[in-house]
Amino acid sequence: MMMAAPYAIAAAPPRPALPTPPSLAAVPAWHSLLEERWQQRLSTLTELSLAYHNAAERCGQPAGAAETARLQRLLREATAARRALGELGRVDVPIPVAHDRQPVWPSGVVGSITHTTGLCAAVVAESSRLAAVGVDTELCGAVKPELWQTICVADESAWIRALPAGERAAAVTLLFSAKEAFYKCQYPLVRERLGFSDLSVMVLAWGQGHGAFRVRAVRPIALFERAGAAELLRGSYRLHEGFVSAGVCLSAQR
């Protein structure tokens, strides 16, 4: 008998052009309302979407590009999150946004959202199966070479130098994405801020387009101080359609 997958993942479909929201100069209260809801932890992704559409209906004047992009991003994230939750049977569930801008998932659910140019996706799981999950997707080669040394620790840099030159950009993108995914996985549990130099990623299989990786702490970090956490942590990646996606999950204690 086939067991149900312990998680669900969904991507936001391509969206038609959104109605243009009002300019902040024309309707300053609109922007203030969104900021107030955000800061007071009363907003949800869906509420922000509704506020966006309501404001657009009231005034058709153009907004600044940054404001439009921000709200379009929220809409795509909300779509991906709600579709993933729907696969777990959680329909029309609000997703509040906390003061640190992290999504607050429904009780009994853990999840993560990733958003980059051309792709937005969410992964969710029942907390009885996974204690935490993190996902990150980046455009392959998006990390500029001048930033590689700020992302890689010594053993990672040695691995990168040993690769053929044509593979290095994708490999560094994987290291970046893996560390981001690990951060998203651990943060809801221990609320620890981490830097790239705090972690070392060992890629267990390279050259196949997908594989596994391990994350090691360079310094003491809170998640690995939990008994058994290192053994319960899993990381995997895939190169696809010009993207590098990495996922990290922490199995629930039995």
Does 137 lie in the same domain as 245?
A: yes
pLDDT exceeding 70 applies to what percent of the chain? 74
- Is 211 within the bounds of a domain? yes
- Is 247 within the bounds of a domain? yes
Residue type, 186: Q
Distance from C-alpha of 233 to C-alpha of 42, rounded to nearest angstrom = 33
- Is 114 within the bounds of a domain? no
pLDDT of the residue at 1: 32
Does 201 lie in the same domain as 153?
A: yes
Does 82 lie in the same domain as 25?
A: yes
Does 240 lie in the same domain as 137?
A: yes
Is a pLDDT exceeding 50 seen at residue 236?
Answer: yes
**What DSSP letter does each residue of 231-245 carry, written as one string?**
HHEEEEEEEETTEEE
- Is 117 within the bounds of a domain? no
Please give the residue that has the higher pLDDT: either 92 or 223: 223
- Is 86 within the bounds of a domain? yes
pLDDT of the residue at 13: 54
pLDDT of the residue at 100: 85
- Is 237 within the bounds of a domain? yes
pLDDT of the residue at 151: 97
pLDDT band at 2 (very low <50, low <70, confident <90, very high): very low
Does 147 lie in the same domain as 88?
A: no
Is a pLDDT exceeding 70 seen at residue 114?
Answer: yes
The parent domain of residue 90 ranges over 11-106
Is a pLDDT exceeding 80 seen at residue 29?
Answer: no
Does 157 lie in the same domain as 78?
A: no
**pLDDT (mean) for 94-110:** 89
Tell me if 58 sits within 8 A of 22, measured CB to CB. yes
Does 212 lie in the same domain as 136?
A: yes
Distance from C-alpha of 76 to C-alpha of 90, rounded to nearest angstrom = 18
- Is 1 within the bounds of a domain? no
The helix/strand/coil state of 180 is helix
pLDDT of the residue at 67: 74
pLDDT of the residue at 62: 53
Does 65 lie in the same domain as 163?
A: no
* pTM of the shown model: 0.76
How many domains does one find in the chain? Answer: 2
Residue 11 in tokens: 């991507």
Does 151 lie in the same domain as 242?
A: yes
pLDDT of the residue at 78: 87
- Is 246 within the bounds of a domain? yes
Does 149 lie in the same domain as 212?
A: yes
What is the CATH number for 212? 3.90.470.20
pLDDT of the residue at 254: 62
Q: Taking all residues of the chain, what is their mean pLDDT, rounded to a whole number?
A: 80
Does 136 lie in the same domain as 233?
A: yes
**pLDDT (mean) for 211-219:** 96
Tell me if 135 sits within 8 A of 185, measured CB to CB. no
Does 98 lie in the same domain as 142?
A: no
**pLDDT (mean) for 230-239:** 94
pLDDT band at 71 (very low <50, low <70, confident <90, very high): confident
